[in-house]
Structure 1
Amino acid sequence: MIDFRYHLVSLISVFLALAIGIILGAGPLQGALGDQLTDQVGTLRAERNALRDELNQAEATATEQRRFIDAAGDQLVAGALTDKRVAVVDVDGAGDGVTGPLVEQLEAAGATIVAQEALTESWTAADEATMRDTVAGGLREGLADGLEEGTIGDETGTSAVLGAALTLALTDADPVDPALRSTEAADLQQQLERFGLVDVEMAPEAPADAILLVSGGETGAQGESPDDVDPAEWGVGSLVGLAGMAGDITGATVVAGPTTADGDLVSEVRADDDVVSVVSTVSGTEQLTGRVVVPLAVAAQLGGTVDQYGFEEGATVLPAKPEEQDAQSDDASADGQETTGDEQ
């Protein structure tokens, strides 16, 4: 049994320690602790003020850069797409808030927008895969006959077949009058609308020279892939198939979307070696800098240059000027001739 004296000793020890702490705090240590705390507060205040000044300067610089780009944007793109016809397709519900500014940049570059459409959820929904397979099955033979041999075969996936149908609906010209759409293009457009795969904001008026596929960046959030549906045939996978086929057929297809995130359309296109070889991408379209690049990327594709534009690692910030592209093409041709000569 613990004696009361032990409790008394413990209480005395506690009060003694408290008294010593008070004496030291009010005496010898008071000045040192106070000086240290004052110095630390002063240092923190100076750092805070410096950071605030840096932030204000950065914001001011960013504002001035936006003003410059806004003022110079029209001059940068002016004439890049003169006499060129472009079809714009919203692939994942990006909406007019995203597509509208891009259309403005295309028009500022001199392009004529000849069609503006949006894919419906039926194009990407996993539970609509059977319907898409049926539609693609009915279109496959006719599309294969109308395209270069080998473009579409028995093993071609549904997303690629539907991509070919949409591409031809937007770009196929009348063989007699190239300024008009072909009968086949009109028929394919009607079928895509009838099966609820596309919504039309601006019906195709003439065959497009290039296609701009616009993403809002949400295509990666598709949930888990159903076991009975190929990942390449629903969600973002089906859009990659569309982009690849459009690039194969037109030679001038650009995918534009916001700053990249895992699983979004721009990232998935860039990750596919076959698609990225025929399709250009532009990221950062939520910023004016990205939107200005879009018409330049389309113009570069029409000139035969495929590239990936943005500020991510490995991407190109800005397309080369037409004369620089020509010089690069000449250099590549010269290198090819030299290599051929060496091999001979």
Structure 2
Amino acid sequence: MRKILEELGSRDTIAIGGHVRPDGDCVGSCMGMYLYLKKALPGAQIDVYLEKPADIFDCIHGIEDVRTDCSKDCVYDVFIVLDTSKERLGDAEKYFRTAKKTINVDHHISNASGCGDVNYCKPDASSASELVYELLEEKYMDAEIAKVLYLGIVHDTGVFQYSNTTPDTLRIAANLLAYGFDFSKLIDETFFEKTYVQNQVLGRALLESVRFMDGRCIFSSIDLKTMEFYKVVPKDLDGIVSQLRITKGVECAIFLYQTKTLEYKVSLRSNGKVDVAAIASYFGGGGHVRAAGCTMQGTVHDCVNNLSEQIEKQLIKAE
């Protein structure tokens, strides 16, 4: 950890990037690192690159500084990759490739060895935000940095309900709360609150869901026509797979949304008996043991049939 801080101390230009379709942990870890470095290295140029974060993250101090345009050519002294490997950086990957030094901080088991010159990757950590907190010196911490790191931890642990929540996670969360911010409002506005249209789409996904394998698995899907009808984008579909997961008797939940003809983005969630990271990896994706994803080609039923073969193998072994 000290080596990472030493790498940053003597650099003039630093870029920070996270994965495409940034979720709460991606935004939280990137913005936490950004706000911290702005304080710790006042003479350095610090830039953060992300696809446009969802409106729910407008409460984050400095969110307006996020750069979404990667058309400009420049070479950074350091590029910090957070919550992902380089393959999911999107357009910002070009800055990673040309940077003089690269650093990777991640907690995904599919990226356990890291992709940087210097790596801090711990698959047993709850979130990238938890790892970022471990890297930071307390003297530069403040309420805004604490708030955004807490947000990241909350989102990746499902408000401390998921199995990736550890005693260390709770201790770090307690330390962050001590800086003083309205954590209840933060959780409600960024995690639980949904728009009316989001609730409509969720309702439709639940209504059209199908259980199979004697009720141990469940899936639902949304096609492009339905997304256009409700005028929603992929960010509006967050949370659907988690709602499917809590169906009584279900071991594995699958949610698919169409991205183009015969192509679907797949989200997988497990209640413990299925390692969905292994399944996602088999189909070219990745993630965590209980939460993972991939992109698949074919019809919905083609995708579900292929997934079910891998799920069934694991369930048979678990019996």
Quick check: TM above 0.5? no
- TM class by shorter chain equals under 0.3
User: Which structure carries more relative contact order (alpha carbon 8 Å, separation 6+)?
Assistant: 1
Q: TM-score w.r.t. structure 1 length?
A: 0.25
| Larger helix share, 1 or 2 | 1
Q: Kindly name which structure, 1 or 2, has the bigger radius of gyration based on alpha carbons.
A: 1
Q: TM-score w.r.t. structure 2 length?
A: 0.26
